[in-house]
Chain A
Amino acid sequence: MIENFLAGTATLFGDPFTIGIFIFGVLGGMLFGAIPGVSMLTLAAILLPFTADLSPAQGVMLFAVIYCTGTYGGAITAILFNIPGAPENAPTAFDGYPMTQKGMAGKAVGAAVLCSAIGGVASALVMMSATEPLAQWAIMNIGPPEIFALVFFGLAVASSVGGRTIWKGWLSVLLGLLIATIGQDPVGGINRFNFGYSDLAAGIAFVPAILGFFAVSEIFIQAEKNVSGKYSAPKFNVDFPSFFELWAHKIAVVRSIFVGFFCGILPGIGATLAAFMGYGEAVRWSKNKSEFGTGKLEGVISSETANNAATGAAMIPLLALGLPGGALTAMMVAVFQMHDLEPGPLVFYNSPELIWIVFAAMFYANLSILFVGLIETKTILYLLKIPFQFLAPMILMLASIGAYISRGLVLDVIVMFIAGIIGFLLRRSGYSIPGIVLGLILGKIGEQNFAQGMQMVHYDLGTYFSRPICTILIVAGVLTLLKSLHSAFFQKPKVT
């Protein structure tokens, strides 16, 4: 492994053009992740056609680096503006934004930098040492029933965070699941809920929906405060967390690495669920549950460690099985296909140099989050000083371009603003926007794997539950739902 890693490092840093691409990926991912309204996906969508001129190793490496640094970059907007750069940063906003409101933005961003780097580096190390055995394990033990079970568990966890009541949490997730059914059904390809619009046959795209629910709705909420004279600018502060503050959360970091890696390794799941589960587990094991959501450093730490820990793991199903775990890894498949390559087990034998350049680049990209991130953070915090009247139209315009670019459809910009209006109204009433988005992302994966799982076991639930991983996850999901149902009926409302 070490020889391969060194060979990958030598190839990566032996060619000035490849170094240039690496640096571009690191800075581009961080910058696009950290600009409210656009995300790493916007940059990736713009760059996709240009990768045809690069070598396959350079093309895939560029996307892998953007994936690592962009996942971190999205945390900055989540913390500073309550606008997660990507869905995997949504749980970061639960505690990160309240910290900004309390004048602790520097601490939250500093923790995000460090924990993203730790999670990413740990994940890259495991990825390098165990991609092949882990892929073998996944092939043997993870099938559609297990993926459906994990989606079910993840949605159960997601419904328990965010909404003002458990009922609102569930309704948010169900709305996301309903939106995900728009378009062709994953088994028979039959058009559903397209209301006569042919553009809706492909379904509601994630990028505009996510931008609408997160970025546009937040801008509308701030704009409403602005026109009512109740807007107050977030407090500016550049105090970083001390070593001891972070050391106190070492268990949360280790736990989130495991959770993130496990979620990332499963095909189709990706970093979003990892972040939610990392955050959910932090709440579950905490002695002070009620402090979460009010600006607790552990919330930021657990979410950011888990989502970056999933980035390395997500490369395992992609490279070993050819299965992307999210939108950006799906674009990496497109890069492979542009160069007449198919990701899968054969890549390890046919193009080992490509694999090891990508692994080495991801390792160094995660390390660079630590160094570049700390320098960048001091600068990026000055975003808080930009007046809202300038920042808000800028974010709306960037979001419009981000929504349009991915498919070149004006419909996507319209969908984004409609999602923004719906998000604005639902947030005012205490519904959970991350819940809607997670339902939207996992809905199709859940349905597809449920259908395949049912076909596999010939609709026999006994066979379904004879699979241990599947049973454990379903039981855990049901227990989570029952616990929240119990609290819904027997708990008193908050006294305010």
Chain B
Amino acid sequence: MGKLGRTDIFEAVFWLLIAIIFFAFSFNFNQPIEIYKFGATGWPRVILFLMALVALGNFYHAFSKGSKAQEGRVGAKENDDPIEYTSTGQYFKTGMVLILPLLYAVSLKPVGFYSGTPIFIALIMIAWGERRVRFILTNTILIYAILIGLFMLVLNAPLPQGNMSPFYDISAFMLKTKTQLDQMF
């Protein structure tokens, strides 16, 4: 297997799958354009072809030379202190770090910014290993206050309000209070 590692094989499969899947989907819009000879599929298919070709080159490079950084590559850092995963707990922790923000983003539509944000801030601190309750509480309040102060009160930025009760009602209450404050000053 030369100098191939498991990640090299995974990477090659990943890029080739992307190229194949996108190529298959390109048939959905394979329509001619009267004024342009190469049509809507020409450009993306060239990219996909090059992607498959370069993925094979990448695979060959890993096979013959391993996955170390090439000499003279600018801005490329060799991972000199790689993080070794030794337990499922570690995978779980990193998984939570990655998934929690995505869950927050998905929940923005029903829950809204005003209700979802403090919960998310506290959860993300816990997921990142923070266990001091007072630290979590004070920092959650502080970050939330900065965000509300800057974007809601000063910049008047429109933020998602949610569409589910009681979250929508909480957002409406906050916006109503803000309008009342505006009228007072």
- Are A and B co-members of a single complex? yes
| Interface pair A227/B129, CB less than 8 Å apart | yes
A244-256: contact bitstring with B at CB < 8 Å (1 yes, 0 no)?
0000000000000
Contact B79 A428 (CB under 8 A): yes
The residues of A that contact B70 with a CB separation of less than 8 Å are: 164-166, 487-488, 491, 493-494
Is A168 a contact of B40 with CB atoms below 8 Å?
A: no
Per a CB cutoff under 8 Å, which of B7, B29, B83 touches A230? B83
The number of inter-chain residue pairs (CB within 8 angstroms) is 239
Assembly CA distance A91 to B74 (angstroms)? 10
Contacts A174-B51, A392-B128 given; does A163 touch B73 at CB 8 Å? yes
B29 A191 Cβ-Cβ under 8 A: yes
Q: Are B40 and A171 neighbours in the complex by a CB distance under 8 Å?
A: no
Task: Write the chain A residue with the least CB distance to B15.
Answer: A171
Query: Residue B102 at the A interface, CB < 8 A?
Result: yes
Kindly provide the distance from the CB of B107 to the nearest chain A CB, expressed in whole angstroms: 9
Interface residue from B83, B117, B142, B157 paired with A224 (Cβ < 8 Å): B83
A356 contacts B by Cβ under 8 Å: no
Interface flag for A106 (CB, 8 Å): no
CB distance from A21 to the nearest CB of B (A): 16
Is residue B135 within 8 Å, beta carbon to beta carbon, of the partner chain?
A: yes
Measured between beta carbons, the chain B residues less than 8 angstroms from A178 are 18, 22, 44, 47-48, 51
* A281–B26 alpha-carbon span in the complex (Å): 37
B44 touches A493 (CB 8 A): no
Stretch at the interface among A289-297, A311-319, A377-385: A289-297
Binding site secondary structure of chain A = helix
Q: How far is the CA of A220 from the CA of B43 in the complex (A)?
A: 33
Chain B contacts of A293 at CB under 8 A?
73-77
Please encode chain B, from 56 to 78, with 1 for each CB lying within 8 Å of some chain A CB and 0 for all others.
01100100011111111111111
Q: Are the CB atoms of B58 and A416 closer together than 8 Å?
A: no
Q: Sort chain B's interface into a size bin.
A: 35 or more
Q: Does A492 contact B (CB under 8 A)?
A: yes
A87 CA to B149 CA, complexed, in Å: 28
Which A472-496 residues sit within 8 Å CB-CB of chain B? 487-488, 491-494, 496
Contact of A459 among B37, B39, B109 (CB under 8 A): B37
B31→A161 contact, CB < 8 A: no
In Å, the complex CA distance between A480 and B130 comes to 48
Please tell me if the beta carbons of A228 and B74 are within 8 angstroms of each other in the complex.
Answer: no
A410, B105: Cβ atoms closer than 8 Å: yes
Q: Is B137 an interface residue (CB 8 A)?
A: no
Question: For the complex, is A341 an interface residue (Cβ under 8 Å from B)?
Answer: no
Cβ contact within 8 Å between A220 and B75:
no
Bound-state CA distance A400–B146 (Å) is: 14
Interface residues of A in 149-189 (CB under 8 A from B): 160-171, 174-175, 177-178, 181, 185, 187-188
Q: Are B37 and A46 in contact (CB under 8 A)?
A: no
Residue A334 interfacial (CB < 8 Å): no
Residues of A within 8 A of B177 (CB): none
A91–B77 CA distance with the chains assembled, in angstroms? 14
CA distance A188 to B29 in the complex (A): 11
A interface residues with partner B (beta carbon < 8 Å): 46, 91, 94-95, 98, 160-171, 174-175, 177-178, 181, 185, 187-188, 190-193, 195, 216, 220, 223-228, 230, 279, 283, 289-290, 292-293, 388-390, 392-394, 396-398, 400-401, 404-405, 408, 410, 413-414, 416-418, 420-421, 424, 428-430, 432, 434, 447, 450-451, 454-455, 459, 487-488, 491-494, 496
Q: Could you jot down 24 A-B contacts, CB within 8 Å?
A: A98-B77, A161-B74, A171-B51, A178-B18, A185-B40, A187-B35, A187-B40, A188-B35, A192-B29, A193-B29, A227-B127, A228-B90, A279-B74, A290-B71, A292-B74, A293-B74, A397-B120, A430-B79, A432-B75, A432-B76, A447-B43, A451-B36, A454-B37, A494-B78
